[in-house]
Amino acid sequence: MKNELIKPKGLVTNTNRRNFLKFGTMSVAGAGLLLMGCNDDEDMMPPMMNEGVSLGSGDIGILNYAYALEQLEAAFYANVIAGGYFANASAEEKTIMGDLEKHERAHRDFFKAALGSAAIADLEVDFSSIDFSSRTSVLGAAKTFEDLGVAAYNGAGQFIENVDYLLIAGKIVSVEARHAAAIRDLINPGSDDFAGDDLIDSNGLERTLGFTEVLTAASTYVKTPIDFSQLPS
């Protein structure tokens, strides 16, 4: 059958869907010590702003960029877990959302620890446009965040100079891509949306987004001004 040829079976069953998420996170955890020394140089600290945060420049700026996005995603899933949708969700969806919350929290905490004194401050978020009691609203927002995260890492990778940082970014984006696929499969089970034409081009490559595109999209949910003017272009 056509669907059997083009759709991985890992997105079909409830049990395999969770395993699909779990293995990606293990790969990140296995490489998690690589960044822990990246804040040794005091000169790498991003400049302070009177209001808002400045990401800084070079690799530290890109790591702060990733940290900002992980803060946003971690805060979102924390609200999901505390919301009415989660309380009334199926056992399968509670498990998946719980896993996603743990993954994004781990990513956020990892970047914060790795950046040390070079890390930007905690961002103030605004999720007033999301109804956390509504499955449709929550999954739609999750799709937006996960797709944005994957495109952001894909776009930033070309500018990372340190190969250890690039390795970590590759491992994290693979987890984000698993998240995006799982959310899309929850929204439209059994379909090909997990790798839809809105994400994958005719060459089989996923879309990329630049710093301006990503942070403009994220600004809907982030109240803290973010200065990314020193990031490469």
Mean pLDDT on 122-143: 98
Q: Is residue 44 domain-resident? A: no
Q: Round to whole Å and give the CA distance between 54 and 40.
A: 19
Look at residue 117 and tell me whether its pLDDT is greater than 50.
yes
SS3 58: helix
Nearest CA to 186 among 140, 127, 147?
140
Q: Is residue 48 domain-resident? A: no
Give the pLDDT of residue 15: 44
The answer to whether the beta carbons of residues 50 and 61 sit under 8 Å apart is: no
Q: Is residue 194 domain-resident? A: yes
Give the pLDDT of residue 50: 55
Q: Is residue 40 domain-resident? A: no
Q: Round to whole Å and give the CA distance between 171 and 167.
A: 6
Look at residue 20 and tell me whether its pLDDT is greater than 60.
no
- Beta-bridged to residue 227, according to DSSP, are 54
DSSP 186: H
In Å, what is the CA distance from 145 to each residue of 12, 161, 213, 215?
22, 26, 13, 12
Q: In this predicted model, what pLDDT tens digit does every residue of 101-113 receive, in sequence order? A: 999 999 999 999 9
Domain count, the chain: 1
For the chain, give the percent of residues with pLDDT over 70.
77
Q: Is residue 161 domain-resident? A: yes
Look at residue 123 and tell me whether its pLDDT is greater than 70.
yes
Pick from 57-61, 143-147, 206-210, 211-215: least confident: 206-210
Look at residue 126 and tell me whether its pLDDT is greater than 70.
yes
Across all residues in the chain, what is the average pLDDT?
83
Give the pLDDT of residue 186: 96
Pick from 22-26, 95-99, 169-173, 215-219: least confident: 22-26
The sign of the torsion formed by the CA atoms of 92, 96, 101, 103 equals positive
Look at residue 34 and tell me whether its pLDDT is greater than 60.
no
Give the pLDDT of residue 45: 53
For position 132, which CATH number holds? 1.20.1260.10
Q: Is residue 138 domain-resident? A: yes
Q: In this predicted model, what pLDDT tens digit does every residue of 148-199 receive, in sequence order? A: 999 999 999 999 999 999 999 999 999 999 999 999 999 999 877 767 777 7
Residues 6+ apart with CB under 8 A from 137: 85, 130, 131
DSSP 130: -
Domain that holds residue 77: 53-118+126-227
Q: Is residue 165 domain-resident? A: yes
- Beta-bridged to residue 200, according to DSSP, are 206
pLDDT band at 77 (very low <50, low <70, confident <90, very high): very high
For the chain, give the percent of residues with pLDDT over 90.
70
Look at residue 228 and tell me whether its pLDDT is greater than 60.
yes
Nearest CA to 206 among 159, 170, 161?
170
Count Cβ atoms within 10 A of the Cβ of residue 217 and give its class: 0-12 exposed, 13-18 middle, 19 or more buried. middle
Give the pLDDT of residue 193: 72
Rounded to the nearest 10 degrees, the angle between the axes of helix 163-187 and helix 135-156 is 150
In the chain, which residue ranges form alpha helices assigned H by DSSP?
Answer: 2-6, 14-30, 58-82, 84-88, 91-115, 135-156, 163-187, 211-218
Give the pLDDT of residue 13: 46
Q: Is residue 182 domain-resident? A: yes
This prediction has a pTM of 0.81
Q: Round to whole Å and give the CA distance between 66 and 74.
A: 12
The answer to whether the beta carbons of residues 101 and 19 sit under 8 Å apart is: no
Tokens representing residue 6 in the block: 């083009």
The sign of the torsion formed by the CA atoms of 222, 130, 176, 206 equals negative
Look at residue 71 and tell me whether its pLDDT is greater than 90.
yes
